[in-house]
Structure 1
Amino acid sequence: MKRIATLTMNPAIDVAYETDRVFHTHKIRARQEHYDPGGGGINVARVIARLGGTARAHYLAGGATGTAFDALLDLHQMVRSKISIAGNTRISTSVYEKATGKEFRFVPQGPTVTSPEWQSALEHLETIQCDFLVASGSLPDGVPDDFYARVQSIGVKCGFEVIIDSSGSALKKGLQGGGILLVKPSLGELEQLFDQTFASQGEIAAAANQIVKYGWARLVAVTMGHKGAIFAQETGAIHLPAVSIKAQSAVGAGDSFLAAMVYALAFDWEPLDAFRYGIAAGTAAVLTPGTDLCHKVDVDRMFALVGQA
């Protein structure tokens, strides 16, 4: 298995509750209180561990909430390297309203990271040992939009492949540097990247193919929720439908998808099969409530249901 590392510039303590109804003004009694270490790369590392692999998580954390975040990582026995910052690690909240089956998610911006802090993160990456680095999640305030492109430059110099899962300017600038192994945008993130709305699967596939043609990334996986996912590589693009299931929570589905796909690629699976495994993991994550991620038994069960191209 190739060595996997993850990078999380803006991690979060993920808090989940359940309540009967959500009202304004009045105090709402909640139950099923649950805490997890979260953020793109952290979640990817957790899922890879659940699938039977190992990924070292590199992350920024600070303040009183950063101490609590580290304690949660201890509970999960995660292999990790911390890059300390002064700002407080953010806390994201998910509330499941039992009466309606709706989920309410509150996601703060996070701390402001200073120039010496994000430059320290880049210097840290020059010392790591891995074959794949998954740079996943948003960039906190203070970090330049081209940060992931800078990470890719370090990957070229140090001999590791970079995988990106982000949004907005961080995604666009990261891709425009070129040479990325894999990018996993959602449909909304892809539309934001191209600054247009896509009316058909054909248009989505064409955009994914453009990313490959431009040399931005060799592999592109576009996730579209209940509409399935589209995969593009040098030989073209294909669409696979979603597995029909009853959703419990959408939290962590994208991270589970990416983790499983990277895990499979690390074992030298064919890219299309790795894509199918990603769909299986994303589907398995939707089966779990709150902030929980996918479980291997569910991933393997879903994998058998994912259609062939």
Structure 2
Amino acid sequence: MTPILTVTLNPTVDLSIHADQVAAERKLRCSRPDTDPGGGGLNVSRAISALGGHSTAFVALGGPTGDKVMHLLAEAGIGLSPFPAPGETRQSLTVTDQRTGEQYRFVMPGPEWTPRDVTKVLDRIGKAAPENGIVVLSGSQPPGVPDDFPARLATRIARTRARFFLDTSGKALHRLLEAGAKPVDVLRMDDLEAEELAGRALPERRDSADFAQSLVTRGIARAVIVARGADGNVLATDSERWVAQAVPDAVISKVGAGDSFVAAFALARARGLSRPEALKWGSSAAAAAVMTPATDLCTLKDVRRLLRHCTLEEV
């Protein structure tokens, strides 16, 4: 199988708890916390492991919380390529109100990075990129990391023989379009990000496919994926336009759906499957992830079951 390296600059220890009711100015009695290593790239590695695959997690770690992340990854059997973070690794908290089922997510910013830290990590990722492998960058960037980091990493990865899969948003996504960087192999975004980037509504699958294909034509990526939530996932290249849709049994928590998609898609490609088949795997994994609570990700059993009923159509 093609080796996979996931990249997480802003990891976290995810704490997930339940309270009978979340209300202001009350002492809230909570359940014992569930603890998971978090951050986009680490979630991708965790989901790859859940699907029976293997990846190496390149992750910036610092302080006792960073040690906790390292311990949790070791327990999960995930290979680790650590990089010294410039400060203490952050924590995040998800609180579920058991009365309403609503979730409250508290996300800390992470340590401040300097330009020197950024230069060092770009070099280290370039050296860690597996030859003829896949590098996945997913998740938020810590304070101090410039918006053009994904674009700079795309150029750095282009010097290797690895393929670059990118799941990003916000200013970093805009800078990718402006920077004139080397094209990434796969660029993924959700429907709201796509509409914000396009500057217009994308109400139909055809609209998403048109926009995704325009980014390919501009040389931003070789393939662009737009996640349309319950309406499926659209993929476009210069010559292909597909949509895959998998329907979950129920929606319990949307946390980790995007990372599960990226994990299943990357793993399918690493195993030699075509883009349309990988799109079906990704869609099924995203649907499986929303069926699990809190920070839990997809399960192989659910993904395989949903995959049998996942639709795939040309757009």
Q: Give me the TM-score of the superposition, normalised by structure 1.
A: 0.95
Partner in structure 1 of residue 50 of structure 2: 50
Q: Hey, what does 2:251 align to over in structure 1?
A: 247
Runs of 4+ in 1 over 4 A off after TM superposition: none
CA deviations on 1:43-102 (whole Å, 9 max, x unpaired) are: 111111121221111011213322222222222222011111232212111111121121
CA deviation after TM superposition for structure 1 residue 175, in Å: 4.8
1:196 equivalenced with 2:205 (yes/no):
no
Equivalent residue, structure 2, for 1:121: 121
- Given that residues 129 and 157 in structure 2 are in contact (C-alpha distance below 8 angstroms), is that contact kept between their aligned partners in structure 1? no
Residue aligning to 2:148: 146
In the alignment, is residue 168 of structure 1 matched against residue 176 of structure 2?
no
Normalised by the length of structure 2, the TM-score is: 0.93
Structure 1 position 191, deviation (Å): 2.0
Q: Which runs of 5+ in 2 are unaligned?
A: none
- Give the aligned CA root-mean-square deviation in angstroms: 1.6
Deviates more, 1:175-184 or 1:153-162: 175-184
Q: Choose which of 142, 155, 158 in structure 2 pairs with 1:156.
A: 158
- Paired amino acid for 2:118: W
Which residue in the other structure is 1:18 paired with? 18
Q: Secondary structure at the match of 2:13?
A: strand
CA–CA separation in structure 2 for the residues paired with 1:194 and 1:108:
29
Question: Residue 248 of structure 2 contacts residue 291 of structure 2 at CA under 8 Å; is this kept in 1?
Answer: no
Identity of aligned residues (%): 35
Instruction: Write the distance in 1 (CA, Å) between the matches of 2:294 and 2:303.
Output: 18
Tell me how many residue pairs correspond in the alignment. Answer: 309
CA contact 1:175–1:217 (8 Å) conserved in 2: no
Mean Cα deviation higher: 218-227 or 232-241: 232-241
Is residue 2:8 matched to residue 1:5? no
Q: Which residue pairs with 2:264 in the alignment?
A: 260
Q: Write out per-residue CA displacement over residues 143-178 of structure 1, whole angstroms, 9 at most, x where no aligned residue.
A: 111111111112111221111001112123235524
What secondary structure does 1:290 align onto? coil
Superposed, which structure 2 residues align to 1:169-184 within 5 Å? Answer: 169-176=171-178, 177-184=181-188
Task: Summarize the alignment of residues 1-309 of structure 1 with structure 2, pairs less than 5 Å apart.
Answer: 1-130=1-130, 131-176=133-178, 177-309=181-313
Contact 2:246–2:306 (CA under 8 A) maintained in structure 1: no
* 2:149 alignment partner AA: F
Partner-residue secondary structure (3-state), 1:220: strand
Distance 1:197 1:29 in 2: 43
Shift of 1:129: 4.3
1:19 and 1:86 map into 2 onto residues whose CA distance is 34
2:245–2:280 CA contact under 8 A, matched in 1:
no
Going from structure 1 to structure 2, the CA distance change for 1:195 and 1:87 (only over 3 Å counts) comes to: farther
- The answer (yes or no) to whether the contact 1:229–1:242 under 8 Å persists in 2 is no
Q: Give the conservation status (yes or no) of the 8 Å contact 1:16–1:94.
A: yes
Deviation at 1:192, TM superposition (A): 2.6
Render the CA deviation track for 1:95-130: whole Å, top value 9, x for unaligned. 111211211111222221122222111111232241
In the alignment, the residues of structure 2 paired with residue 122 and residue 68 of structure 1 have an alpha-carbon distance, to the nearest angstrom, of 24
- Alpha-carbon distance, 1:301 to partner: 0.8
The CA distance in 1 between the partners of 2:213 and 2:32, in whole Å, is: 44
Deviates more, 1:161-170 or 1:109-118: 109-118
Give the aligned residue type for 1:58: F
Secondary structure of the corresponding residue to residue 150 of structure 2: helix
Q: Does structure 2 retain, via aligned residues, the 8 Å contact 1:66–1:89?
A: yes
When residues 268 and 62 of structure 1 are mapped into structure 2, their CA distance, relative to the original with a 3 A threshold, is same
Report the CA distance between 1:278 and its aligned residue.
0.2
Q: Answer yes or no: is the 8 Å Cα contact 1:225–1:242 preserved in 2.
A: no
CA shift at 1:304, angstroms? 0.7
* Letter of the structure 2 residue corresponding to residue 239 of structure 1: V
CA distance in 2, matches of 1:160, 1:271: 17
Distance 1:94 1:259, change over 3 A: same
Amino acid at match of 2:276: L
User: Could you say if the C-alpha distance between residues 172 and 246 of structure 1 is closer, same or farther in structure 2, counting changes exceeding 3 Å?
Assistant: same
